[in-house]
Chain A
Amino acid sequence: MNYLPNIIFAILLIFGIGYFTKNVKKLIRNIKLGQDVDVSNNKKERFKNMMRIAFGQSKMVRRPIAGMLHAIVYVGFIVINIEVLEIIIDGLLGTHRAFSGIGVTYGVLIGIFEILAILVLVSVTLFWIRRNVIKIRRFWNKEMTSWPKNDANYILYFEMVLMTLFLIMNATDVAFQSMNNGNVISQFIAPWFSNLPEATLHIVERSAWWLHIVGILIFLNYLYFSKHLHILLAFPNTYYGSLKPKGQFNNLESVTKEVKLMMDPNADPFAAPADDTNDEMPAKFGASDVQDLNWVQLLNAYTCTECGRCTSSCPANLTGKKLSPRKIMMDTRDRLEEVGKNIDANKGEFKDDGKQLLGDYITHEELWACTTCNACVEECPVSINPLSIILDMRRYLVMEQSAAPTELNNMMSNIENNGAPWPYNQMDRLNWKNE
């Protein structure tokens, strides 16, 4: 019976990690529903971007207060995870503080953890106040309905509870307190428990320990359902982020082929396609649903932290128009999840559900409000490009459905006929010279 806690611990661990793995697999499958895109070039530069933007948080600190608080929580999160390793070893082997044998260094380590824990507690509290009391505008936009708003708060509560449990665990650990090494913060909490009988104290310590590790496992599995997925995906996402100038929009190869054929005076329009060109016809031009987007755009959607920095700098949004780049990303993720569930329910195959991203999630009005100014792309702290999705959907509207606003259709036929967006004759192009 002595092994019971160890067995329970092992089972918990297997379930926790197992369920997480299952969801990660689903995540990867969903992202792979996107079109292929070649991002295998410039590995060095990509790695540098990842280190700078995701690891180094270079874009977070552009807003100094949020940036600093975020950095604390981030460092705290990473460093305190070393403690989780010890917990796992203790849990599986039935040891107590397996690492404490390393002496003074252990004290230093735990001391650092404790300081970080208190800093994280403070930061998270400030975050909560900023969100719920000061009500910063970008956290209260239209798309921040019940779930996205609660999600953000749940995470904050989670962190508060985890950090508190960690400190209580240390404070009620009699052996640890009597080492008097590394208990920089917990020594001040310990007195609160000092008049408890030893057995009760032990129960408190054990409870905090168990709740702490169970909490971490729940947190791990909560990630998949939450905007908090960014703590994992920010890394690949910044790695695969675009290296091109922001003004350079991608070239549609499929269109190039057709245009060249059209413009080639030697091409026989009635010729049957040569036999070797059985390369699949492009299904469609542009995107109307998530499967038409490329996988980096889908990865973007899962990475979005819903911070709203993009939306708060979007000129269309700032002037009261319906467009919100954050909503574009949230819609894409929601639809992708829906498609994924559809596939799960239909034994690995997508059954048409009569819905799509365009129209059911994102309206034409939103798409046509974009000035392609790249403010959203510039702002995003994790290299997400909402503009690329907007453009791909415009492409679908224009090239597949001829559904551009009338004025734009006029503009385009002017270009076709006169080589200018206005109805002027190309022969008058040099008139300015003599006016």
Chain B
Amino acid sequence: MSDELKVPIMADLMAEGKKPEVLFWVGSAGSFDDRAKKITKAFVKILNKAEVDFAVLGTEESCTGDVAKRAGNEFLFQMQALMNIEVLNAYGVKKIVTCDPHSFNCLKNEYPELGGNYDVVHHTQFIQELIKSGRLKLKGNLYKGKRITFHDPCYLGRANNEYNAPREILKSTNASIVEMNRHKRNALCCGAGGAQMFKEPEKGDKDINVLRTEDALQTNPNIIATGCPYCNTMMTDGVKAKEKESEISVLDIAELIANSEEL
């Protein structure tokens, strides 16, 4: 199946004198984390299906530095950013899409001040646009009658005010969307942000992802939908902690679409 994936690489296209419409920023999680790699592939399937003219940087991509910045290491962040900007600008990149809200926020809001100006969109925004423009026609009915709840990633929602795109996509799957008590701007963090993903949490009486999973479970969902690789991990762990993994699946929006269209 994997040999069906068409993943053009920026350097190759450049050699052929071609410039893709959009650069797919895979991100570190999307490249290396086993769970997140599935999201990456699902999104590529969608891009292939909609015949989007895209490319990835491949080995030329490096960490955006987002997590270093949130941890307080502005030096490391700026070094990463300046390196990446050099590469992106050399390829004349105009538009970037990414499945990671942290990369999205960082590239969109924090790179400009260092000389990197791009039109950056989150993959849920991109997919929504594909559906709206008719480039991606959804036929699947896999989720009819299923209850899906969407967990807002902090860096897509509160940080950048995007609450609609993921919900619009979910609506087009014919599932019934159930909202958690805390949602949209009141959504609770999954617990991974601000570099927490890479360390043990401080002492407390509960893990944040467990509390967030409880929020989700209250809606009695069949599926918890996410739009961020870190949220996905956190919610998956939370569902496991509640021993519900046989009843409830945690899926990225890209995976939901790829699955229902049997891509």
* A residues in contact (CB < 8 Å) with B: 244-249, 251-252, 255-256, 258-260, 262-263, 285-286, 313, 315-316, 318-323, 365, 368-375, 377-378, 391, 393-399, 404-405, 407-408, 410-412, 415-416, 419-422, 424, 426-435
How many residues of chain B have a CB within 8 Å of chain A? 73
Asked if B179 lies at the interface with its beta carbon under 8 angstroms from chain A, I say: no
B90 to chain A, nearest CB (A): 15
Alpha-carbon distance A113/B66, docked complex (angstroms): 54
Contact B62 A322 (CB under 8 A): no
Interface 1/0s, chain B 46-90, versus A by CB < 8 A? 000000000010110111010111111111101110110000000
Contact assessment for A394 and B2 in the assembled complex, using a CB-CB cutoff below 8 Å: no
Q: List 5 A-B contacts (CB under 8 A).
A: A320-B204, A371-B196, A421-B63, A424-B31, A424-B32
B residues less than 8 Å from A421 (CB atoms): 28, 63, 67, 197-198
Instruction: Kindly state the separation between the CA atoms of A424 and B83 in the bound complex, as whole angstroms.
Output: 19
> CB-nearest residue of chain B relative to A392?
B72
Q: Which of A315, A397, A398, A412 has the most CB of B within 10 A?
A: A315
A65 to chain B, nearest CB (A): 16
Q: Contact: B41 with A432, CB < 8 Å?
A: yes
In the complex, what distance in Å separates the CA atom of A424 from the CA atom of B28? 10
Known A430-B9, A433-B7: A371·B208 in contact at CB below 8 Å: yes
B58 touches A247 (CB 8 A): no
Q: Which of B2, B110, B201 contacts A251 (CB 8 A)?
A: B110
Cβ of B140 under 8 Å from chain A: no
Q: Does B243 make an interface contact (CB < 8 A)?
A: no
Tell me whether B72 and A397 are in contact (CB under 8 A). Answer: yes
Q: Are A430 and B56 neighbours in the complex by a CB distance under 8 Å?
A: yes
Report if A248-B109 is in contact (Cβ < 8 Å); known contacts: A256-B114, A375-B158: yes
Contact B82 A259 (CB under 8 A): yes
| Given contact pairs A407-B199, A420-B32, A433-B2, A372 touches B194 in the complex (Cβ within 8 A) | yes
B188 adjacent to chain A (CB < 8 Å): yes
9 additional A-B residue pairs with CB within 8 Å, beyond A255-B75, A315-B191, A419-B28: A247-B109, A255-B74, A258-B75, A313-B188, A319-B210, A321-B202, A391-B72, A412-B76, A415-B76
Contact indicator A369/B31 (Cβ below 8 Å): no
Residues of chain B with a CB closer than 8 A to A258's CB:
75
Is A395's CB under 8 angstroms from B208's CB? no
Determine whether the beta carbon of A319 is less than 8 Å from that of B75: no
Chain A residues with CB below 8 A from B9, complex form: 430
For the complex, give the distance between the alpha carbons of A320 and B63 in Å: 32
Q: Of residues B26, B194, B197, which shows the largest number of chain A Cβ atoms within 10 Å of its Cβ?
A: B194
- Could you tell me if B194 and A319 are in contact, using CB atoms closer than 8 angstroms? no
Looking at the complex, which one of B31, B69, B109, B114 makes contact with A429 (CB distance below 8 Å)?
B31
Asked whether B154 is an interface residue with its Cβ less than 8 Å from the other chain, the reply is: yes
Residues of A within 8 A of B200 (CB): 405, 407
Contacts of B199 in A (CB 8 A): 368, 405, 407-408, 411
B 188-223 to A, binary, CB cutoff 8 A, 1 in contact else 0: 110111111111111111111011100000000000
- Contact across chains for B206 and A430 when beta carbons are under 8 A apart: no
With A321-B202, A368-B199, A370-B194 given, is the CB distance from A433 to B211 under 8 Å? no
Is B62 in contact with A419, judged by CB distance below 8 angstroms? yes
CB-based nearest A residue for B27: A420
Q: Which residue of B lies closest to A379 (CB)?
A: B186
Does the CB pair A415–B68 fall under 8 Å?
Answer: yes
Q: How far, in whole Å, are A139 and B126 apart by their CA atoms in the complex?
A: 43
Is B37 part of the binding interface, using a Cβ–Cβ cutoff of 8 Å? yes
Please give, as numbers and ranges, the residues of chain B lying within 8 Å of A248 by CB-CB distance.
105, 109-110, 159
Are A419 and B80 in contact (CB-based, < 8 A)? yes
Q: Are B79 and A263 in contact (CB under 8 A)?
A: yes
- B58: chain A residues within 8 A (beta carbon): 429-430
Q: Are A408 and B109 in contact (CB under 8 A)?
A: no
Candidates B33, B61, B185, B192; contact of A371 at CB < 8 Å: B192
